């Protein structure tokens, strides 16, 4: 027969074991930008637009064509103004439509359209047979960064906690420069049941789940931000990446960008 004290000790040890298993250490990771300026490519798209899937596929193929995150960071922003035509894009947000309109104003265009590609704040049009994206990105990569970025992240408890710090370099305009944080997910697919793409299974990469900012810089040209991105259970943590980029709001120019995969 087990004494009562021994039973209590065993129960306490078992309880402590269970608590330790639940409170496992959170995963941490970090990244620092370098001397190469990294370009940002924004794709404005929608599952309700029948001309969008080919451009979505083109963006998905960019890493296989040598456009790694040390050269180019794509961000796919799904707009919501197609949602009233029969199919609500589950990845769409009004916030992204507003950003597209803002980018349109910077480019002095009187309208928005999908699919639209914006490269470092400038409207980019692909050729029908070939494109000059590699040359355009090479030019950006050869420019000195206008800012330095540090990112660190902690993953756990259903969220990704991001700490971002940026310092502007000499010559950067402090008053109009802003810091943004984005969280995107790769390898997403969806069966579209209505609208222009009804009956199609669409595949997406670089889908922006969350966009935070803009955050301003202080008088010394520094910006520090702590951002919590909730990570629902149906999001694939291995396919999540957080991005920080510094942009001049006066002309849309991206001064530097940095990607950090969510740590597991």
Q: Token digits for 134?
A: 């590699």
**Residue 161 near residue 228, CB atoms below 8 Å:** yes
Query: Could you give the CA distance from residue 79 to residue 96 in angstroms, rounded to a whole number?
Result: 6
Total count of residues recorded for the chain:
264
Query: Could you give the CA distance from residue 105 to residue 112 in angstroms, rounded to a whole number?
Result: 10
More confident residue, 174 or 116: 116
* pLDDT tens digit sequence for 182-212: 999 999 999 999 999 999 999 999 999 999 9
What mean pLDDT, rounded, does the chain reach? Answer: 90
Question: Looking at the whole model, is its pTM more than 0.95?
Answer: no
Confidence of residue 95 (pLDDT cuts 50, 70, 90): very high
What HEC string does 152-185 produce?
Answer: EEEEECCEEEEEEEEEECCCCCCCCEEEEEEEEE
* pLDDT tens digit sequence for 10-66: 443 334 333 333 445 678 999 999 999 999 999 999 999 999 999 999 999 999 999
Pick from 150, 135, 154: nearest CA to 246: 150
Q: Which helix (H) or strand (E) holds 247?
A: strand 240-248
Query: Could you give the CA distance from residue 79 to residue 195 in angstroms, rounded to a whole number?
Result: 15
3-state DSSP assignment of residue 96: helix
Full strand arrangement of the beta sheet holding 177-185: 122-124, 116-119, 39-45, 72-78, 207-216, 177-185, 240-248, 254-261
Confidence of residue 84 (pLDDT cuts 50, 70, 90): very high
Query: Could you give the CA distance from residue 253 to residue 256 in angstroms, rounded to a whole number?
Result: 9
**Is a pLDDT exceeding 80 seen at residue 165?**
yes
């Amino acid at each position: 027969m087990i004494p009562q004290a021994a039973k209590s000790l065993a129960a306490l040890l078992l309880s402590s074991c269970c608590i330790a298993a639940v409170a496992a250490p959170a995963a941490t990771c970090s990244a620092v930008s370098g001397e190469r300026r990294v370009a940002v490519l924004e794709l404005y798209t929608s599952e309700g637009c029948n001309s969008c899937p080919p451009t979505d596929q083109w963006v998905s193929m960019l890493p296989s064509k040598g456009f790694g995150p040390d050269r180019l960071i794509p961000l796919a922003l799904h707009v919501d103004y197609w949602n009233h035509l029969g199919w609500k894009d589950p990845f769409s947000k009004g916030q992204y439509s507003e950003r597209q309109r803002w980018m349109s104003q910077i480019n002095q265009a009187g309208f928005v359209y999908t699919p639209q590609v914006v490269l470092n704040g400038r409207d980019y049009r692909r050729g029908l047979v070939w494109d000059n994206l590699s040359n355009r990105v090479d030019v950006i990569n050869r420019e000195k960064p206008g800012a330095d970025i540090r990112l660190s992240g902690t993953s756990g408890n259903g969220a990704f906690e991001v700490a971002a710090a940026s310092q502007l370099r000499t010559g950067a305009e402090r008053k109009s420069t802003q810091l943004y944080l984005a969280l995107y997910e790769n390898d997403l697919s969806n069966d579209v049941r209505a609208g222009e793409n009804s009956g199609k299974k669409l595949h997406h990469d670089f889908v922006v789940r969350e966009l935070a900012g803009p955050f301003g810089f202080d008088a010394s040209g520094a910006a520090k931000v702590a951002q919590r991105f909730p990570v629902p259970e149906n999001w694939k943590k291995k396919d999540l990446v957080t991005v920080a980029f510094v942009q001049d709001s006066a002309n849309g120019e991206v001064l530097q960008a940095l990607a950090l995969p969510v740590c597991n």
